[in-house]
Amino acid sequence: MRILLTNDDGINARGLKLLEAVARKLSDDVWIVAPTEEQSGAGHSLTLTTPVRLRRHDDRRFSVTGTPTDAVMLALAHIMKDSPPDLIMSGINRGANLAEDVTYSGTVSAAMEGALAGVRSIALSQAYSREGMGDTVPFAAAEAWAERVLAPLLELETEPKTLINVNFPAMRPEDVKGIRVCRQGIRDYGRLRIVERTDPRGYGYYWFGLGPMVETPGHSTDLEAVADGYVSVTPLHLDLTHDASLAALHDRFAEKV
């Protein structure tokens, strides 16, 4: 099995090193194409107005001066065009990618790009608490549980244009309760926290904070699964059409003709 690894935390990120160690337990044919610098929050963005530069570190390790999407596109269309991967894994991200975070996440978007290209793709992220910030984020749960999550996923026949989003809870491996398959959640961003401050030069700036979690009946979403101490596994698909609205829209425009 040929595996391509990428991320949005950059080529030197600790989580990518961990993912490489996990990948090498699954295959001896592991390639890495990742952004040169951190691209958190880049979403599914593509660099169009500036050149993207590629650096080769060794035969199967490359860095890209662009977004996670750029990295996957260069991997599939250039670096590995004659030997495409069987699997793309993106991560392991420093911080969870839950609920509507998936639309902002470079980690998840790299897996989206793989899914668009018809390659089985999985995004993996490690949640952290306020006690574990920056470079001190503990990846112990991901390290202990990643292979246990991936093994069943690799045996699964996935639908076209879909990907799997995996999140590990912020706790010791022995405290993780198990694996929960669940829906994508949603937060209440109507109460988004915006903190306004002033820098030392007297200019204003803003910090954005996440809104509170909205609980669902049966604790059925990825937000609640991770909060409850489970590894969340969520299937995502790239067709954003809202089927329930199609008939109403057809009727509305038919009236205008």
Quick one: fold of 2-187+214-241?
A: Stationary-phase Survival Protein Sure Homolog; Chain: A, (3.40.1210)
- pTM of the entire structure? 0.90
Q: Over the stretch 4-35, which tens digit does the pLDDT of each residue have?
A: 999 999 999 999 999 999 999 999 999 999 99
257 pLDDT tier (thresholds 50, 70, 90)? low
Bind-site residues: 8-9, 40, 93
Q: What is the mean pLDDT of residues 198-223?
A: 79
Q: What is the 3-state secondary structure (H, E, C) of the chain?
A: CEEEEECCCCCCCHHHHHHHHHHHHHCCEEEEEEECCCCCCCCCCCCCCCCCCEEEEECCEEEECCCHHHHHHHHHHHHCCCCCCCEEEEEEEECCCCCCHHHHCHHHHHHHHHHHCCCEEEEEEECCCCCCCHHHCCCHHHHHHHHHHHHHHHCCCCCCCEEEEEEECCCCHHHCCEEEECECCCECHHHCEEEEEECCCCCEEEEEECCCECCCCCCCEHHHHHHCCEEEEEEEECCCCCHHHHHHHHHHHHHHC
Query: Which residues contribute to the annotated binding site for a divalent metal cation?
Result: 8-9, 40, 93
Give the domain ranges of the chain: 2-187+214-241
What does the pLDDT look like over 228-245, one tens digit per residue?
A: 999 999 999 999 999 999
pLDDT in tens, 105-149: 999 999 999 999 999 999 999 999 865 455 567 999 999 999 999
